[in-house]
Amino acid sequence: MEVSYEHRMEALILPRWHRRLTRLSAAGFLLAAAGSISLHAQRYGTLPVPPANPLTPEKIALGKKLFSDPRLSGDGSLTCASCHDPAHGFADHRAVSTGILGRTGDRNVPTLLGRGYGALQFWDGRAASLEEQVTQPISNPLEMGAAMDTVLSRLHADPAYTGLTAESLAEALASYVRTIRSVDAGFDRYMSGLPNGLSDLAREGLRLFEDKARCYICHGGDLFTDEAFHNTGVSWKEGALRDEGRARITGKKYHKGAFKTPTLREIANTAPYMHDGSIATIEEVIEFYDRGGNPNPFLDENIVPLHLSAAEKQALAAFLRALSGSVRDGTP
């Protein structure tokens, strides 16, 4: 019991995984072998749920149905899942999104894995909760392009949706999105005390991730994100800023080109990468960080040239690939 408590607390607080592993792996391995710790139950902390919208199985099920209902889009051609495809880690494979009538959006579709653990939603954090976020793609002319009144009157024709309001629709969608997560990756098995959860190469990658490569500074914790906004320079190309990012919301100069740190869970399944989908592969992401991002006046102080060797880059890539596990949705 003492081991699992400590394990849980450290998982919540510290991204410095390997240190606790050297202490815990022997005991954890024995406990796991004896079946007394679940292999992934403790990987995440408690899911924060707003008191005004408690999670219920009914709401989650309704939200799941709505998520795949084309009546939520103006021309009936798109569902949430068209862009947030469960088969692709709840993201898609386009650089930027494609909405109704082939309209091109301006940003890459982010994965929805673990969004219930984050507060601010969107790459620039402009929505303060999932309840606030989930109706925005419906009305966004570049996404589903539908008026809420039209959506509700269409849905009311279906007995399954009797009594649905804009508010209950948002609550149901938010409840469902809260359940979307990835569990039981090689990384989780390793953290639960099973040494062969990670290959030797991936284990070396983990060491680099939280040391020389500095990734953990922003991609720390069980969700691999600090949920904060950083300027890595992705948006700065040839000295020009392509997307203001967080600055468009806060008006702060130092937020020019800052975006929310994304989770790295299922990262092998959600290419292309970054808010503009401008980086195609994990290897190219590593090259981007190795050269110290894109130079600009507001570059985050933690983005610096890394001088990784070819072998170190390979190890880091192997670790990122070990963050794929089972994608779960629809259960609390």
Of residues 7 and 107, the one with the C-beta less far from ligand HEC: 107
Which of 11, 113, 172, 303 is close enough to bind ligand HEC by CB under 6 A? 303
Minimum CB separation from ligand HEC for residue 308, in Å?
Answer: 8
One-character DSSP codes across 88-154: GTTB-SSSS-B-GGG-B-SSPPPP-TTGGG-SSBSTT--BSSHHHHTTHHHH-TTTT---HHHHHHH
Say if CB 273 and CB 234 are below 8 A apart: no
Say if CB 279 and CB 272 are below 8 A apart: yes
As a whole number of angstroms, the longest Cα–Cα distance in the chain is: 61
Which of 43, 178, 203, 219 is close enough to bind ligand HEC by CB under 6 A? 219
Minimum CB separation from ligand HEC for residue 149, in Å?
Answer: 16
Which of 220, 221, 262, 325 is close enough to bind ligand HEC by CB under 6 A? 262
Minimum CB separation from ligand HEC for residue 66, in Å?
Answer: 7
Backbone angles phi, psi at 121, to 5 degrees: -110, 160
Of residues 122 and 298, the one with the C-beta less far from ligand HEC: 122
Q: Which residues are paired to 237 by β-bridges?
A: 240
- Based on the shown chain and the rule CB under 6 A, indicate whether residue 151 belongs to the binding site for ligand HEC: no
- Based on the shown chain and the rule CB under 6 A, indicate whether residue 267 belongs to the binding site for ligand HEC: yes
- Based on the shown chain and the rule CB under 6 A, indicate whether residue 313 belongs to the binding site for ligand HEC: no
Alpha carbon separation from 186 to 68, 266, 331 (Å, rounded): 30, 11, 22
Contacting residues for 82 by C-beta, under 8 A, at least 6 apart: 92
- Residue 103 is encoded by which pair of tokens? 């309209």
- Based on the shown chain and the rule CB under 6 A, indicate whether residue 247 belongs to the binding site for ligand HEC: no
- Based on the shown chain and the rule CB under 6 A, indicate whether residue 42 belongs to the binding site for ligand HEC: no
Tell me, what DSSP letter sits at residue 44?
S
What is the dihedral angle through the alpha carbons of 317, 322, 327, 328, rounded to the nearest 10 degrees? -140
Which of 232, 269, 294, 324 is close enough to bind ligand HEC by CB under 6 A? 232
One-letter amino acid at 162 equals: T
- Based on the shown chain and the rule CB under 6 A, indicate whether residue 302 belongs to the binding site for ligand HEC: yes
Of residues 107 and 203, the one with the C-beta less far from ligand HEC: 107
Tell me, what DSSP letter sits at residue 207?
H
Instruction: Pick out residues in 117-146 that bind ligand HEC (CB under 6 A).
Output: 121-124, 130, 133-134, 137-138, 143-144
Count of residues of this chain found to bind ligand HEC when the rule CB under 6 A is applied: 53
**Of residues 120, 299, 313, 114, the one with CA closest to residue 221:** 114
Stretch that binds ligand HEC, among 37-45, 185-193, 196-204, 296-304 (CB under 6 A): 296-304
- Angle (CA) 161 167 171, round 5°: 85
Which of 148, 164, 183, 217 is close enough to bind ligand HEC by CB under 6 A? 217
Q: Hey, is 278 helix, strand or coil?
A: coil
Minimum CB separation from ligand HEC for residue 84, in Å?
Answer: 5
Instruction: Pick out residues in 51-110 that bind ligand HEC (CB under 6 A).
Output: 72, 78, 80, 82-84, 97, 99, 105, 107, 109-110
Enumerate binding residues for ligand HEC (CB under 6 A). 72, 78, 80, 82-84, 97, 99, 105, 107, 109-110, 112, 115, 121-124, 130, 133-134, 137-138, 143-144, 173, 177, 213-215, 217-219, 230, 232, 234-235, 259, 261-262, 264, 267, 270, 273-275, 285-286, 289, 300, 302-303, 316
